[in-house]
Chains A and B, each alone.
Chain A
């Protein structure tokens, strides 16, 4: 199942500042909703998003229930060398998901 949509330029020149856009599928249940019978619906959110380039962390986000469902996060990085971006989402109840995208830097 496609759970994440990553947008990274496939190629860039060294030193270019590139934008990385990520969109992933997650309900981000806040923990503040109630069922019709009055029970709290337990919190179930992504709590952390990390991006690494060739193993080195280049961006990290701590997420709270105020982040909308299907979390959308964009950020910038400088193109340094060819390789791979690795993305990881970690959340409640042991949630863990990864994705990756290659980049060629000239």
Chain B
């Protein structure tokens, strides 16, 4: 606790020294999903499953869920049976604490851990179509449910690390995530709305990507966008950032698979 106290003081000093004085986290009542920042046409693309491109990945994911893989010749369904019951609410509480590793893992990592530990199959590469499809399928079963990310007390130090990463200025543009997403949301940057950066709909279909993609992909693109060195896929820093963002969005509703510009 004392270490955390010191860390908070140092953070406060850093705030005053470097960030504008009103660098505050967004008040709970003012939180808005990225959905609300989009034009009606893009919102319509998300709201109807029959026209939402993300549905293609969810359907692929369902097929993978039922397919036997690995030297154990097991399907996800063999252990987890009907995803509509067993996967309900799962994505809403990820990243989750993994006891064996003593740190948080995100949903993609959890799926790969299941593959290696229980199916004796090779892990799926990050951003591969199969991993995205499985993640989308699992996360789809949390749609409509409130985010619970980061509520596990064991995750506290990792949430704090994620917050520090979110606040830290970095890169050639010397920007921290908070500069845009806490301080300047709802203004525009190069014609696009700056959102509050709540990961309510991942993995999501991004029009810019013309594909479904993960939160880590989005984070890496943002970090590269401020001209900083992006962490590798699966890096602990990215998981900590994911964890912080989900805890910052706690209570907001999951929209997976979302559509974003």
Contacts and interface: CB of A to CB of B under 8 A. Distances in A.
Interface of A: 1-5, 7, 21, 23-25, 27-28, 68-70, 72
Interface in B102-152: none
Given A27-B210, A68-B210, A69-B210, A3 B51 contact: no
B63 interface: yes
Nearest to A21: B50
Contacts of B51: 21, 23, 72
Interface in B39-96: 50-51, 53, 55-56, 59-60, 62-63
Given A7-B50, A23-B56, A2 B63 contact: yes
A68 B63 CA distance: 25
Interface string B224-237: 00000000000000
B28 interface: no
Given A5-B55, A70-B53, A72-B51, 13 more contacts: A2-B56, A2-B59, A2-B63, A3-B56, A5-B50, A5-B59, A21-B51, A23-B50, A23-B55, A25-B56, A27-B210, A68-B210, A72-B53
A70 B50 contact: no
Contacts of B211: 69
Most A C-beta atoms less than 10 A away, residue of B51, B56, B60: B56
A57 to B, nearest CB: 23
Nearest to B45: A72
Contact of B53 (A1, A21, A23): A23
B224 to A, nearest CB: 14
A1 B60 contact: yes
Contacts of B56: 2-5, 23-25, 70
B55 A70 contact: no
Contacts of A69: 210-211
B59 A70 contact: no
Best-buried of A2, A3, A25, A68 by chain B (most CB within 10 Å): A2
A70 to B, nearest CB: 5
Instruction: Enumerate the 9 nearest inter-chain pairs by beta-carbon distance, A residue then B residue, closest first.
Output: A2-B59, A69-B210, A7-B50, A70-B53, A25-B56, A2-B60, A1-B60, A21-B50, A5-B55
A25 B211 CA distance: 9
Contacts of B62: 2
Nearest to A24: B56
A87 B15 CA distance: 59
A104 to B, nearest CB: 19
21 contacts: A1-B60, A1-B63, A2-B56, A2-B59, A2-B63, A4-B56, A5-B50, A5-B59, A7-B50, A21-B50, A23-B51, A23-B53, A23-B55, A24-B56, A25-B56, A68-B210, A69-B210, A70-B53, A70-B56, A70-B210, A72-B51
Contacts of B63: 1-2
Nearest to B50: A7
Contacts of A21: 50-51
A100 to B, nearest CB: 16
Nearest to B211: A69
A64 to B, nearest CB: 16
A103 B51 CA distance: 20
